[in-house]
Amino acid sequence: MCGIHAMISTDANGIISSELKTLLSNRGPDHFGQICRELPFEDGDSVTINFTSTVLALRGDHIAKQPLTSPTTGSVLCWNGEAWRIEGQSISSKNDGELILAKLDAADATSDEARESHILNILRNIDGPFAFLFYDAQMKRLYFGRDRLGRRSLLSNQAEDGNSISFSSVADVPAAGWVEVNADGVYSLDLGARLATPHGLRLNTHTVKYDWISSGGGDMVSSIGIFNMALPPPEHKLDFNSVSVETLKHWLYESLKLRVLDIPEPPNPLTDVDIRVAILFSGGIDCTVLARMVHDLVPTNQGIDLINVAFENPRQVSIGKTLPHQNASDIYEACPDRVTGRKAFAELKSACPDRYWRFIAVNVPFEEAMSHKLKIVSLLHPHNTEMDLSIAMALYFAARGTGNSYINKCEWEPTPPSVNSPARVLLSGLGADELFGGYARHEAAFKNGGYPRLIDELKLDISRIGQRNLGRDDRIMSHWGKEVRFPYLDEELVRFAISSPVWEKCDFQNQFHPAVIDPAKRVLRLLADKLGLPIIAREKKRAIQFGSRTAKIESTTGRRRGTAPIIST
C-alpha cells in the first residue's frame, strides 16, 4: 500500500501542502520520497512534474523506495497496490513495483506506437488491486489509472486556470474539485505538447483512454469475463453436492494464499503473539468463511485478529436504558453485529481450537464518532452522501483496530484489556454479496421478474462496484497505515463467479426450510456448512451501517435518506 501523488505544472515550485504530505504519509509510514522532472520546450517554456510517494512495505525482502525510477531512461513509476499476477504468473514473493517498472521500461521498440503497445500490454495483464502513475520519459507521456474493479483510490484535479493538473490517492481540500479517476481503462496524458495562449502557457490536458480490452460485447464484466446469462432448466432441484461449492473453495483458497502468506512481521508489535492479519469481522458469513479458511493457510504460531465494531447511536439506544443483554451496562453489546460477532467467534474457536483467535470489540461512543467526523468526511471526498458517511465511519474505526480484547472467553466481560491490533493487512468480505446474490434487492428482483431480472441486477452490481465503493473504502482504511485486501474480488474468483449459472449462486426458486439453508448466497452458505460452520451458514445478511449502528447516527427521526448530502456541521 502506498500514497501516490503527481503535480504537473507550469509553475516550477509545484509544492504540495503539508496537510497532503501528512495524509500520504499516513497511508505509507515506511518511506516518503519525492522526485522532480522538468520538460523543456524549444521556445524556452517548460512543464515541471513533481512526484511524491509514500510506502507501506508489505512485499519483498526490503523497502522499495518510491517514486521508482529507471536508471536507463529516467522514467518514473508511482505504484499503489498489489500485483498478484503478471501475464498469469504469480509474483507473491517479489516486490511488485520494482518488477512492473522493469517490465514497463523494457520495451525494445522502434516507434512510439510499438512502445505504447508494449506498455499497455503490461498494464492490461496485471491481476490485483492497484492505482498507478507512470511517466514514460522517452515519449514524454504520463499513464495513469486504476485496476478493473477500482480497488485502489486515484483522484485527479484540474486547476481552473489550466496551468496545472494533479493526481493523488487522497484529497487535501475537498472544495478544490477533486474527482475520482474512472476504473475503466488506462489513461494517458501527452506532456510533449502544450498550448500557448495570450494569458501564458497552459497544459494540453486532453487525455486518451485505452480500454482494458476491446472486445467481449455487452455481457463482458469489468474486462474480466463473460457473465453467464443462462436460465435454469425447468424443475431444477437443489444439489447439496454441487461442483460449484468445491470450485468456489478452490478459488477462494488460491485468492487467500496470495493475500495472507509471506506478509512481513509488523514493525514494533505491541503484543507477544505474532499477528499479521486481521479480519473486519461482523460475524456474517462472508468474513467468517474467510477467517475459517485463513486458519488453514496461516502458520499455527501466528494469531488472527477479528475486529468487530459497534457504535453508540442515540437514536436507537438511550444511555442508561436497559438492554437485552445480561450485563445491561454495556450499550454496545446490543448492536446486531456484536451479537453475531460473538456467536461467530465462538463457532470459530470450536471449529479451530488450536488457533490463537483474538476478538477485538471496538466500542465507539457517540461523542468520539462526532469528533472524527470532519476527518472522515475529508477522506471520503469526493463521495458525499449520508450512506457513504455511515459506512465509512464503521470502516474507519474498525481499521484503527483499537478495542477490548477477548481470547479465552467469547462472552462480555466487565473489564477486558484494551489492545491495538498490530496487523497491517486487513481482510474484507466485500464483493461476496455482489457476486453471489446477498442483498435484499436481489431477492426482490427475483420476485418481480424471475431469473432474468435477477441476472440483470447481479450483472449491474458487479459492473459498478469500483465506482460505488472501493476507492472510498481505500481512502478511509489506509489512513491508519493499513492495507485492506478483498479475497472475493480476486480476478480468477470473479471470473468463476460471473461464469457460474445463477441458480447455483442464489437459488431463490427453490423454497428452503430455515433449518436447511437460505437461498441468498447459497453457494457460499453450502461452503460454510462444509467447513464446519453450520450456525454461520444460516445467518442472515445485514448491512454494516445497520449492524454496527452507524446508520443515521446524527438523525433524531431517522427520516433522512441515505442518498442525501452529508450535513457539514
Contact 466, 222 (CB under 8 A): yes
Percent of the chain surpassing pLDDT 90: 60
Residues 92 and 198 in one domain: yes
Residue of 2, 287, 352, 506 marked active site:
2
**Are residues 190 and 245 both part of a single domain?**
no
State whether 308 and 421 are in the same domain: yes
Q: Quick one: which of 396, 478, 373, 371 has its CA closest to 25?
A: 478
Residue 21 has pLDDT above 90, yes or no: yes
* 189 and 336 part of one domain: no
Q: How many CB atoms lie within 10 A of CB 529?
A: 17
> What pLDDT does 543 receive?
55
**CA-CA-CA-CA dihedral for 194, 147, 400, 251, to nearest 10:** -170
Active site residue 287: no
56 and 197 together in one domain = yes
Task: Tell me if 78 is assigned to some domain.
Answer: yes
Structural domain span for residue 391: 240-430+477-490+527-547
Cell triple for 351: 471449529
Integer Cα distance of 471 and 477 in angstroms: 10
For the segment 354-362, the average pLDDT, to the nearest whole number, is 96
pTM (2 decimals)?
0.92
* DSSP-derived 3-state class of residue 544: helix
Confidence of residue 161 (pLDDT cuts 50, 70, 90): confident
Sheet holding 357-364, edge to edge: 418-420, 402-406, 357-364, 302-311, 274-280, 425-427, 483-485
Q: What pLDDT band is residue 5 in, cutting at 50, 70 and 90?
A: very high
Q: Which of 37-46, 116-125, 453-462, 490-499 has the lowest mean pLDDT?
A: 37-46
> Is 9 contained in some domain?
yes
Same domain membership, residue 298 and residue 252: yes
Same domain, 135 and 269: no
pLDDT score, position 321: 47
Dihedral (Cα; 391, 395, 397, 399), 10-degree rounding: 180
Q: Distance of CA 332 to CAs 199, 402, 449, 533, Å?
A: 60, 15, 40, 25
Q: Which residues pair with 127 in a beta bridge?
A: 85
Q: List the single range of 80-89, 109-118, 125-134, 397-406 with lowest mean pLDDT.
A: 109-118
Residue range 494-535, pLDDT digits in tens: 999 999 999 989 888 876 655 567 889 999 999 999 999 999
Mean pLDDT of 145-173: 89
Domain count, the chain: 2
Distance CA 61, CA 262 (A): 10
